Chain A
Amino acid sequence: MSAEAEFVVTVDQNAYLSVGATRVDAVVAVTATGDATPAVPTAALELLIIDTSGSMQGDRIASARAATAVAIEQLRDGVLFAVISGATSARQVYPKRGAARADPQTRAEAVTAVRKLSAGGGTAFSNWLTLARQIAEQHPGAIRHALLLTDGQNGDGRGVLEQTIEECIGVFSCDCRGVGTDWNVAEVRKIASALLGTVDIVAKPENLAADFHAIMNSAMGKRVADVSLRLWTPKGAQVKFVKQVAPEVEDLTAKRVQTGPLHGDYPLGAWGAESREYHVCVEVPTQAIGAEMLACRAMVVRGGSTETLAQGLVRAVWTDDDALSAKVSRKVAHYTGQSEYADAVEHGLAARRDGDERTATMRLGRAVALATAAGDREKLEMLAKVVDVDDAATGTVRLKSKVSDEAEMELDIRSRRTSRVRGEG
């Protein structure tokens, strides 16, 4: 038995290409299975960043205190942790400096300190993230994770947040939660995307505790820090895009770090016992009928090392049999639809906010059609709060005149969450 996760890579694709074709699509699933019991863990650092700006007064700060206490209770013995309160500036709530090692006494002390949190002041994400980074930098090699809770819009000057996020990349990962409906999805998503985390809305403060519980559960389950997806492609080939497609859509294309003449790495962050899937699209030089090519070798590597933990092969075989080349892998088709859905929702809602009703109607209609084709009830229910559907199959819709902020934000945030599909087996 090992405390370390074991990785498995599987590839779903139709390897057959028609004469002259150059585009190869595949869904690469990376699954880690491991010992479920928390044996001697890799050192872990957990940072809880709580918004204590003036807008948090009342229910919100009370719920945030309770939720943070729940998160603290879940820290495994031995895990390093710190609690940060964020307003215009950032301040360490517990411990006074650096990180504490979780045990019954430190957990109790932290909960006591958190109970005293009160709200006041403005919001400057950059100061919060910078303090988190400074603490995290003292623990290289640990699995470093932050949970950021906010309820408001960022007050940083232009470009300041972007610069700060840039400095945090590779130092820690960050899941973000917005409470209420006054925060800006795009802004918070920027943090979560860059720092390999998730973003979600917790509209009702009383639901915070349950959400924090889930996040900590997943954070405490991480076993391997710093995993990367390494894609080898042959000479003359090019990776057109790499998108995480499950559990959420996240474009990784721009995160490539060239690590050799024929391969580049895409950081995936820390892993527990979980499965994520990636849509890889490669452009290869076309070959004669009957030729077989390795279009991409997809490897899971430990960050900063050359050790390959697992690998899968994406192949290309040229054929003049159209029956073979015309087939599209069910997984590739499914996730292509799901990414298009996410794009349609995001662009549709942005157009709606900009007052461009024509584009909004078209794009949200397309989202309805895609969700209908995929038989996705949950997505259709969320869409129905924003548009009236005349014909679901063709995506003929009318924009609703009155839409709750909560419904709109929920649709926006959850548009990237995908449903899974079984491969061809």
Chain B
Amino acid sequence: MNALAGSCPACAEPVGLGDRFCEACGTPLLRKGSTSAEAATKDVVRKCPACGAVSGTATEYCDECGLRLPDPADRTTIDLGALAGVSDRGLVHHRNEDAIALGRLLDGTTAAVVCDGVSTTRQPERAARAASEAALAVLLGVDAPVEPVARVRAAVEAAGTAVATLDGSNPSPDGPSCTLVAAYVAGGEVTVGWVGDSRAYWLAGPDGRLLTRDHSWAAEVVAEGLMDEAAAFADRRAHTITRWLGPDTRPDPDVVSVPHDGAGTLLVCSDGLWNEVPEAGRIGEFAAGAGDGATPLAVANRLTEVALAAGGRDNISVVVIPLEGVQV
């Protein structure tokens, strides 16, 4: 048995740190949710909101009027109380190719993953869903390394394998690909690993600080001092990503680990948010605008609405994790 972490919410028996189930009554001590899990439960009834006809499961379109049926993944909302995530199709794209996965153990250990499908590949949403699921399973799993940086690296590795093996042993070069950002919050430390241009921010009141550095053309020319930020982001190639998870790429994440003192909020998001609100400070202001004592879900909804109001030109995914609720 592990060190004591508290008592079972169902039977009040003591449970160990890192236990996934109560050993006395079997109640799961891990709460989690993801785009994939949500999609699986919502896929059953396919009634057309426009004409009322009920369609077969083999189609994305109404069998009568032809209008596209709402995709269960058009908007995913996951509310775990202490943290929450929203993933939205946006206003321009016709699929939500982002995926989110988040979870929390009874001891307060928290993890969140946001993946953004690379839309020039086939069925990128499959990559995003598989990668986010695989990474979360490692982050909150029992077998992964205890040391946070090693754990996050193992999670990215698992996500990379999940993407690379999506099409069995014959992956095609344009097979499903995605970006990934994974956050692991435990033991007074925030550890973030990423591949591509999905991001993590630390928001404190109306302030915000970017924790990641994009693997993108713009970020790299700025880092190398070849261009200033304004010029780089104005370039046509600005958003071209330089690293991703795909059929024939080895995951090559950057990982940072920073201590936290229980103040502020961790935000994990796809570029659908930060393209519309490029300044970290503005994101912090919008988050704070949800009001004092706003729930993580309220903040996640607000940030999504802000990105939609600004144009919603891409899929938008945000996961909000207030650090005060996380064990220091």
Contacts and interface: CB of A to CB of B under 8 A. Distances in A.
B61 interface: yes
Count chain A CB atoms within 10 A of each CB in B51, B66, B67, B68 and give the residue with the most. Answer: B66
A287 B67 CA distance: 9
B12 interface: no
A233 B94 CA distance: 21
B302 to A, nearest CB: 22
B106 interface: no
B66 A234 contact: yes
Interface in A285-342: 287, 290-295, 313, 317
B96 to A, nearest CB: 13
B51 A294 contact: no
Contacts of A294: 59-62, 66-68
Contacts of A291: 67-68
10 contacts: A237-B66, A262-B64, A290-B91, A291-B68, A292-B94, A293-B66, A293-B68, A294-B59, A295-B66, A317-B94
Contacts of B51: 235
Interface in B37-72: 51, 59-62, 64-68
A295 B61 CA distance: 10
Given A237-B66, A294-B67, 6 more contacts: A234-B62, A234-B65, A235-B65, A262-B64, A292-B67, A292-B94
Nearest to B68: A292
A293 B91 contact: no
B61 A293 contact: yes
A262 to B, nearest CB: 8
B18 to A, nearest CB: 46
A313 B61 CA distance: 10
B292 to A, nearest CB: 36
Grouping DSSP codes into helix (H, G, I), strand (E, B) and loop, the B interface class, with mixed when no group exceeds half, is loop
B327 to A, nearest CB: 44
Given A235-B51, A317-B94, A293 B67 contact: yes
A290 B91 CA distance: 7
Contacts of A236: 65
Interface string A254-294: 00000000100000000000000000000010010011111
B312 to A, nearest CB: 10
Interface of A: 233-237, 262, 284, 287, 290-295, 313, 317
B64 A234 contact: yes
Contacts of B94: 292, 317
Given A290-B91, A292-B94, A293-B61, A284 B67 contact: no
Q: Chain B interface residue count: which class?
A: 10 to 19
Contacts of B64: 234-235, 262
Count chain B CB atoms within 10 A of each CB in A235, A284, A291, A313 and give the residue with the most. Answer: A235
A293 to B, nearest CB: 5
Contacts of B66: 233-235, 237, 284, 293-295
Contacts of B91: 290
Nearest to A319: B92
Nearest to A261: B64
Interface string B174-203: 000000000000000000000000000000
Contacts of B62: 234, 294
Contacts of A262: 64
B72 to A, nearest CB: 16
Interface string B271-292: 0000000000000000000000
Interface string B296-307: 000000000000
Contacts of B59: 294
Contacts of B61: 293-294, 313
Contacts of A234: 62, 64-67
B309 to A, nearest CB: 15
Contacts of A292: 67-68, 94
Contacts of A233: 66
Nearest to B64: A235
Nearest to A321: B92
A295 to B, nearest CB: 7
A236 B53 CA distance: 14
B254 to A, nearest CB: 34
Nearest to A233: B66
A313 B91 CA distance: 22
A328 to B, nearest CB: 20
A416 B38 CA distance: 53
Contacts of A317: 94
A54 B256 CA distance: 94
Contacts of B68: 291-294
B176 to A, nearest CB: 19
Interface string B76-116: 00000000000000010010000000000000000000000
Contacts of A313: 61
Nearest to B91: A290
Nearest to B53: A235
A236 B61 CA distance: 15
B318 to A, nearest CB: 22
A287 B64 CA distance: 15
A233 B65 CA distance: 8
A234 B63 CA distance: 7
A295 B65 CA distance: 9
